[in-house]
Amino acid sequence: MSINKIAEIPVFAIVGHPNEGKSSVVSTLAEDDKVRISPYPGETIDCISFPVIIDHKEIIRFVDTPGFQNPGKTLVWMRNYKGEDKLILKNFIDENKEKLDFEDEIKLLTPIFEGACIIYVADGSRPVRNIDKMEMEILRLTGKPRMAVLNIKENDNQYLEDWKREFLKHFNSVRIFNAHTATYKERIELLESLKSIHQDWQRQIEKVIEVFKEDWQRRAEESADYILKFLKESITYKIKRSVSDKSKIEQTKEELITSYRNNLITFEKKACDKIKKLYKHNIFQYSLPDYSILKEDLFDKKNLEILGLKPGQLSIAGGVAGGMMGAVADGIFHGTSLGLFMAVGGAAGAGYAYFNKNRFADVKVGGIKIGNRYLTIGPCKNIQIFYVLMDRILLYYSHTINWSHARREKSDINYIEKLKKIGFAAFFDSGTRKIFDRFFFQIIRAENFTKSNFSEKEVVLKIKEILIKISEDSFLNKNFLDKD
């Protein structure tokens, strides 16, 4: 019952030897971390379909298949076959469906018989074996469009040329692809390669890529909204508590500070969780490797040492508001200071943000007519905190989108390992910083923070632009990142 679905949804059967990375490739391409991945061969015993659905519509489907178990006998049957070439799969399935020797081969060849194109996955970290050549020849004899994917680790290229030579004998297209570290950009590049395996599929794959890119743009826009709301909520947040007993002012102050810190951390986690869900991560956890800067407490010294703007950039930021604020550096790590740059100058009448081991936002003591006192902490009027918060959420975004859905361990990826020593804010161009500076100063000057929407559309578009550059690997030059 051969059914060619080229006119409908592109379907790709992921085939190969057991434990070569087939399920990892499916998980990464389908953005589905529910695909079962195991270090033990033979875990996939049936064909399982993983549709990619965008806007409630299936646009492409990947089929995870059992590995070849008896390629030798299967190849002998196919070489002895005397019927029509176009019926080779149908006759193989019909004649051998009751034979246990061919059970797995029939399972993996059935979706190909039904119209799926072939993605053959091999582990490039080992040499080419005779059994691999048998599998490749079987797939060539099917006469179906096919592509070879070499699942190879970075710098593990000892056998690369041998694999390439063998692949070129049997496949329409060849691609090196590490399913465990593949980024969005690399997934799109693999899809682009699929266009070349069969002319009839070209338009359908082009449409799939177009929909993928549109969906990625939409997700970046939603992420930008989440990030803006998080930044605004964090900067404008304040707590107020009355104190009837003057002797308890210091105790109440410390309680407010602790509450303020915890709530900002909660705001950050909620925003990160929304981004994680948007990019279809269920297994990837917010708990991060020990060496990641994101592992540090939001107000930890290391954050302030690495993230945010540099002293000269902060001075410029102060001038953006037309003399409203100046910015100077307190002594770097002298005494109890954590080196955070304090906004001072013209804003003194409105208070300023101060940060050290115990204090990091406006803390005011006020009286009311009945004689009670109250303490307030916040809103944060330190622009450096704004940029530190932005850096952290951008780093989390970069971490999330570059975390392959095939990864099951909790170690970090190389790209993020490089980024652990730097943030993004210090590399914003002057135009970008000007947009963020103006927005920050407008927010903290507004009498009603919740109604201040100055330049929000402009800010969201700028954040989206940054997110797209991060996903395209074009925000920071990798050569720069390689320099320690």
Give the per-residue SS3 of 93-127. HHHHCCCHHHHHHHHHHHHHHCCCEEEEEEECCCC
- Pairing state between β 57-64 and 239-243: unpaired
Query: % helix / strand / coil in the chain, to the nearest 5?
Result: 50, 15, 35
Same domain, 191 and 297: no
Count the neighbouring beta carbons within 10 Å of the beta carbon of residue 365.
12
In the numeric block, the tokens 């799109």 are attached to: 188
Does 395 map to a domain?
A: yes
- Measured between alpha carbons, how far is 40 from 44 in angstroms, rounded to an integer? 10
- Domain end, chosen from 197, 220, 246, is at 197
The 3-state DSSP class for residue 207 equals helix
pLDDT score recorded for residue 376: 80
Are 340 and 327 in contact by the 8 Å Cβ rule? The answer is no
pLDDT score recorded for residue 238: 85
pLDDT per residue over 272-329, tens digit each? Answer: 999 999 998 887 665 554 445 565 666 666 666 677 777 777 666 654 443 333 332 2
In the numeric block, the tokens 């029509």 are attached to: 84
Does 229 map to a domain?
A: no
Same domain, 165 and 298: no
Number of domains in the chain: 2
Does 230 map to a domain?
A: no
pLDDT score recorded for residue 463: 95
Does 338 map to a domain?
A: yes
Same domain, 302 and 396: yes
Same domain, 117 and 248: no
Same domain, 275 and 170: no
Model pTM score: 0.79
- Domain end, chosen from 197, 222, 257, is at 197
Does 382 map to a domain?
A: yes
pLDDT score recorded for residue 357: 32
- Domain end, chosen from 134, 169, 197, is at 197
Same domain, 182 and 250: no
pLDDT per residue over 41-55, tens digit each? Answer: 555 567 888 999 888
Domain with 182, as residue range(s), is 11-197
Q: Is the dihedral of CA 178, 180, 185, 188 positive or negative?
A: positive
* Residue 49 CB partners (closer than 8 Å, separation 6+): 61, 62, 63, 64
Same domain, 193 and 241: no
Does 326 map to a domain?
A: yes
Does 34 map to a domain?
A: yes
Same domain, 181 and 36: yes
Phi-psi category of 455—alpha, beta or left, where left has phi over 0 and alpha has psi -120 to 50?
left
Count the neighbouring beta carbons within 10 Å of the beta carbon of residue 35.
21
Same domain, 284 and 187: no
pLDDT score recorded for residue 262: 87
- Measured between alpha carbons, how far is 137 from 146 in angstroms, rounded to an integer? 12
Are 64 and 22 in contact by the 8 Å Cβ rule? The answer is yes
Q: What is the mean pLDDT of the chain?
A: 76
Same domain, 383 and 246: yes
Does 67 map to a domain?
A: yes
Q: What are phi and psi of 286, to 5 degrees?
A: -70, -25
Count the neighbouring beta carbons within 10 Å of the beta carbon of residue 8.
12
Same domain, 356 and 415: yes
Cα-based distances in Å from 197 to 194, 201, 349, 464? 6, 8, 69, 34
- Measured between alpha carbons, how far is 246 from 273 in angstroms, rounded to an integer? 41
Q: Which residues of the chain have a pLDDT value below 50?
A: 1-7, 40, 289-291, 319-360, 366-371, 411-421, 477-484
- Measured between alpha carbons, how far is 173 from 176 in angstroms, rounded to an integer? 11
- Give the CATH number for residue 111: 3.40.50.300
Could you check whether the bond before residue 145 is cis, i.e. omega within 30 degrees of 0? no
Question: Could you tell me the strand order of the sheet in which 48-54 lies?
Answer: 48-54, 57-64, 11-16, 117-123, 146-151, 173-176
- Measured between alpha carbons, how far is 188 from 29 in angstroms, rounded to an integer? 9
pLDDT score recorded for residue 307: 79
Same domain, 66 and 152: yes
